[in-house]
Amino acid sequence: MFNHRTLLSRLLQGFVVLALFVGLLLPVGSWTKTAHAEAEPDATDLTDQCEITLPERSESFLYRFTDGRYNSRVSFTKDETLTIAVPDEAAGLYVAWYTAPESALVEMLDSSEAVISTTTASTELLNDYYIVPEGCASIRISGEKAFAISELSVYDTETPPDALSIMAAQKTQPEVMIVLAHTADEAYYFGSLLPYCRSDDVAVVFLMAYSREAQQEAIELQYSIGSRMQPIFAGFTYFRSYMDNDQMYAVMDEDEITEYMLRLVRKYQPNVLITHDIAGEDGDCTTALAATHVQLAAEQATEKK
């Protein structure tokens, strides 16, 4: 009989294996590698030397770009633009999006406002670092849809400072995917697995996050242990509940989470799935919800669409 410390059977030639356990993959003592921080380049923050132009209605919120509070942000409609006049030494732009933008452009302009380069912002990354080319006099950020920015800074190096915890979007076909109900669950319930999460072959998924700050903490934790793949944030409304499991769908839309989990598994095609105890952790039905829908997705993923 399988429990949450046991790997379930492999499905359809190894397309997906479902693992429901909270314990060890291997004893922690067997881990012999440690995460080595990348050498941080000498970087100078040039933000104070920049002239940032916001829409008139948002001018009083300029301080939010540098307040270090990821829950604060400046919001832009699809018709609004952010412009940053940068000094000659500028070489890199850090943008912490409040939510990953659906359709945003980062344009580098010369002194005559001709476009030098255009980058479409990733729809998966919360934090990104854009190289500022030589000859760039200003940067323009706009979107075909509304977007919001929590933090923004300009540096004199093309290599992002290590303190920014810049990560890449999760690649497909990881060896292992860990699906968790909430941010911080990876440390609270799966702490023994953290050393393995430094691998690019381990994807971490959070169904809920209490706030943007909580997402940032999760990113920084993964970065600190050596991972360079950003966790996947599903974006479901955060809650913890100790109600009867039969009542949990009064808060969560069953069809929505079923469809999301199935898309997730089909998109990334992990070889092994790890999630919470199927009975829930410490009486929290949201962890049981995660485990239930991971199991359903594993069973349905190989069915014809």
| CA neighbor of 18 nearest in space, from 197, 190, 178 | 178
> Would 292 be classed as within a structural domain?
yes
Model pLDDT, residue 304? 63
pLDDT tens column, 134-190:
999 999 999 999 999 999 999 999 999 999 999 999 999 999 999 999 999 999 999
What is the average per-residue pLDDT within 238-252? 73
Residue 22 DSSP class: S
Predicted confidence band of residue 246 (pLDDT cuts 50, 70, 90): low
| CA neighbor of 171 nearest in space, from 227, 217, 243 | 227
CATH number at residue 116: 2.60.120.260
What is the average per-residue pLDDT within 236-260? 80
Residue 70 DSSP class: T
Q: How far is CA 49 from CA 53, 124, 198, in A?
A: 13, 30, 36
Whether residue 240 sits in one domain with residue 141: no
> Would 41 be classed as within a structural domain?
no
E-state strands within 121-195: 127-131, 138-143, 147-155, 176-182
CB 287 within 8 A of CB 277: yes
* Per-residue buried b or exposed e for 267-299, using 16+ beta carbons within 10 Å of the residue's own CB: ebebebbbbbbbebbeebbbbbbbbbbbbbbbe
Predicted confidence band of residue 302 (pLDDT cuts 50, 70, 90): confident
Model pLDDT, residue 41? 55
Region of poorest pLDDT, from 171-185, 201-215, 269-283 = 269-283
pLDDT tens column, 97-112:
999 999 999 999 999 9
C-alpha to C-alpha distance for 249 and 246, rounded to whole angstroms: 7
Which of 130, 160, 190 marks a domain boundary? 160
C-alpha to C-alpha distance for 130 and 108, rounded to whole angstroms: 10
| CA neighbor of 145 nearest in space, from 87, 201, 59, 80 | 80
How many domains are there within the chain? 2
Domain range enclosing 134: 47-160
Cα end-to-end span (Å), the chain: 31
Strand partners, 109: 115, 138
What is the average per-residue pLDDT within 273-290? 90
CB-CB neighbours of 225 under 10 Å:
13
Model pLDDT, residue 22? 33
Which of 115, 131, 160 marks a domain boundary? 160
Instruction: Report the C-alpha dihedral over residues 70, 76, 77, 81, rounded to 10 degrees.
Output: -150
> Would 22 be classed as within a structural domain?
yes
Q: How far is CA 233 from CA 70, 159, 196, 197, in A?
A: 15, 25, 19, 16
Whether residue 234 sits in one domain with residue 144: no
Whether residue 137 sits in one domain with residue 54: yes
The alpha carbon of 228 is separated from its chain's Cα centroid by a whole number of angstroms, namely 11
Predicted confidence band of residue 305 (pLDDT cuts 50, 70, 90): low
Whether residue 268 sits in one domain with residue 191: yes
Which of 160, 186, 212 marks a domain boundary? 160
Predicted confidence band of residue 19 (pLDDT cuts 50, 70, 90): very low
Model pLDDT, residue 6? 31
CB-CB neighbours of 39 under 10 Å:
7
Whether residue 123 sits in one domain with residue 237: no
CATH number at residue 177: 3.40.50
Whether residue 295 sits in one domain with residue 171: yes
What is the average per-residue pLDDT within 63-72? 97
pLDDT tens column, 46-58:
999 999 999 999 9
Predicted confidence band of residue 18 (pLDDT cuts 50, 70, 90): very low
CB 233 within 8 A of CB 209: yes
C-alpha to C-alpha distance for 301 and 15, rounded to whole angstroms: 9
pTM of the shown model: 0.85
The rounded mean pLDDT for the chain is: 86
Whether residue 295 sits in one domain with residue 231: yes
| Most confident listed range (129-138, 192-201, 285-294) | 129-138
pLDDT tens column, 32-47:
223 333 434 589 999 9
C-alpha to C-alpha distance for 228 and 210, rounded to whole angstroms: 23
Does 285 have pLDDT greater than 90?
A: no
CB 179 within 8 A of CB 274: yes
C-alpha to C-alpha distance for 79 and 142, rounded to whole angstroms: 8
